[in-house]
Amino acid sequence: ESKGAGRGCVTVFDPEMLSEKRQRRFLERELRAAVFLNELELHYQAVTDTDRNCVAVEGLLRWRHPVRGMISPAEFIPVAERSSLIDMVGEWVFRRACLDLHNFPGIRISINVSGEQLKRDSFVNVFENVLLETGANANRFILEITETVATAATPEIIARIERLRAMGFHIALDDFGTGHCGFNYIKTLPIDAIKIDRSYIRNLGSDRIAQVFVSALTQIARIQGLVIVAEGIETEEEFALARAAGCNRFQGYLLGRPQPLASFRQSSHRLPRPELALIA
């Protein structure tokens, strides 16, 4: 919390602020318990190639709250990020993904990493220990970092990302286009893939700027040898336009919704033959 001058100015008696703060505290406490009560789940969504073969999956966190039902990560991740809970939650996610890995022969699992996790000195060691503990291989994972976090990264964070890459992790820039999206970052950041935010994909049919933006991005990515993922593909038209613009990976409700591991395994996704090398 802020100190000094700000402190005296805080409107302690504003009931709305108080309740918001109290709500956050409450959610924080419940989230801490959720980790131990096994209320967290990692769901999986397919990432496909142009032929709709599943070439990777993204793990998306869900909180099955006993009273409130399914709570979206968009609601509780920010709460976790404002406390040290994000470290515990982030470690849980990575361990879960490592344990689930054998269900996805021949493909990579992508997980989301918070900017707050990356700020920790211990972050790389924590992931290293989970790999040792589970026997999983770093090169089976893609770590997704949002564009906003990556472009604001300190030299320490960049060094950490480079260490992760040296261990074998792939790095993807998530939600590309929602931040400062300097094209020069693509050249300098240690990354392997870019995920174009759904806001561009949604407008590919109607917005000339979105078309030019995505095409330019895919051309730069090709030169840099990066994978380009189109996020949030909901319609055949969006799929066709994203393909035409040069994207080579696709993710969205059209190609498969995020689902629990058990139902993902029963779904009709075409997975690669296990004996093949990693392809995405």
147 binds Mg ion (CB under 5 A): no
Answer yes or no whether residue 175 interacts with ligand C2E by CB under 6 A. Answer: yes
Residue with tokens 């989230």: 31
Kindly write out the interface string for residues 79-98 of this chain, putting x where it contacts ligand C2E by CB under 6 A and - elsewhere. --------------x-----
Q: What 3 state SS string does 56-104 have?
A: EEEEEEEEEECCCEEECHHHHHHHHHCCCHHHHHHHHHHHHHHHHHHHC
**What is the Cα 5 distance to its own chain's centre?**
37
179-208 as b/e, with b when 16 or more CB fall inside 10 Å?
Answer: bebeeebbeebebbbbbbbbebbbbbeeee
Q: Please, what is the minimum distance in Å from the beta carbon of residue 273 to ligand C2E?
A: 26
5 binds ligand C2E (CB under 6 A): no
Residue nearest to ligand C2E (CB): 252
Q: H or E stretch including 186?
A: helix 183-188
Pairing of strands 40-48, 54-65: antiparallel
Any contact of residue 258 with ligand C2E (CB under 6 A)? yes
Site track for Mg ion across 162-181, x = CB under 5 A: ------------xx------
The listed partner (Mg ion, ligand C2E, none) that binds 272, CB under 5 to 8 Å by sort, is: none
232 sits near ligand C2E (criterion: CB under 6 A): yes
Minimum CB separation of residue 88 from ligand C2E in Å reads 12
Residue 173 corresponds to which amino acid? L
Enumerate residues 76-135 that contact Mg ion by CB under 5 A: 112
Distance CA(125)–CA(4), nearest Å, equals 36
Residue whose CB is less far from ligand C2E, 110 or 218: 110
Q: Where are the beta strands (DSSP E) in the chain?
A: 40-48, 54-65, 69-71, 108-112, 141-146, 170-176, 193-196, 227-230, 249-250
Question: Which residues, 6 or more positions from 5, have their beta carbon under 8 angstroms from its beta carbon?
Answer: none
Contacting range for Mg ion; rule: CB under 5 A; set: 36-44, 117-125, 143-151, 265-273: 143-151
Instruction: State whether residue 216 is helix, strand or coil.
Output: helix
Does position 147 interact with ligand C2E (CB under 6 A)? The reply is no
Closer to ligand C2E by Cβ: residue 128 or 234: 234
Candidates 34, 47, 60, 79; binder of ligand C2E (CB under 6 A) is 60
Q: Which residues bind Mg ion (CB under 5 A)?
A: 112, 144, 174-175, 231
The binding site for ligand C2E (CB under 6 A) comprises 45, 60-61, 72-74, 77, 93, 111-112, 114, 144, 174-175, 198, 232-234, 251-253, 258
